[in-house]
Amino acid sequence: MKLLNPARLAICTLIVCVLLYFFPLFRISKLGSSPTSALDSKARSVLDTASPKKLSSPDVTTYIEKLWTDRLPEAAGNAASVDEVLAMAAADPARARQEYGREVGLGGPTFFFLRGRGRIESVDQDECLVIIEGQSQPIVLEIGILLGNAVRDATGLVNVGEFPNSQEFNRLSAELNERCESQVIRPVRDFLVVGTHVKFVGCGEVRNNKDFDPLKLIPVQLTVLNPAEQIE
């Protein structure tokens, strides 16, 4: 076996030492200040910034009040025209859902946030059938006990990520429905008679194209028009 001469051995040893200095087999780090911990902390900071701040349970009450009194009335002016939606739905329901609706979740229902006016054709305890001038299909205003998530989900104002749990998120639906019953429908309930003209902003839910015949809306604003207002 041929041995390395001392000079060559010294050079090889020096090279190995240099490599180990710059590329150590392991590192010794001070506890509590490892690079991994720093990276994890930075990653958490980025995620916290990107994610919506979750509300506490008491904050949900304040959130609902602000949504109902400020944000929802402001958004009502941007609701889609019921005339345009019904006209498109009569020819191409799928396109109407795509252009005017809002889907929550993959394969879920399509929600609509609409405004319009029309004449009451019939009314009972739970529903008010409204004829929209120039449209082949009427709409139905739901005026009985209100259920579902249309008011919560149709406007696009609510982010589920803001809520601490599903219970509080579902509570929002229940409270919005109750306010529609007590503050929107009940004050005008006795004036909803056949032949009366109404102006409305409402939220509806379509699970399949047959739900356009007729389209049902929960009113978040509902006004009975006097004769002078009917011709505007």
Q: How confident is the model at residue 189 (pLDDT cuts 50, 70, 90)?
A: very high
pLDDT at 59: 82
The mean-pLDDT minimum among 43-47, 81-85, 201-205 falls in: 43-47
Find out whether 105 and 138 touch, Cβ atoms under 8 Å.
Answer: no
Question: Which CATH number is 55-230 given?
Answer: 2.40.50.420
Distance of CA 158 to the CA centre of its chain: 5
pLDDT at 227: 80
- Give residue limits of the domains in the chain: 7-48, 55-230
> pTM (2 decimals)?
0.76
| Residue range 12-35, pLDDT digits in tens | 666 666 555 655 655 554 545 444
39: exposed, middle or buried (Cβ count in 10 Å: 0-12, 13-18, 19+):
exposed
Which of the two residues, 75 and 7, has the higher pLDDT score? 75
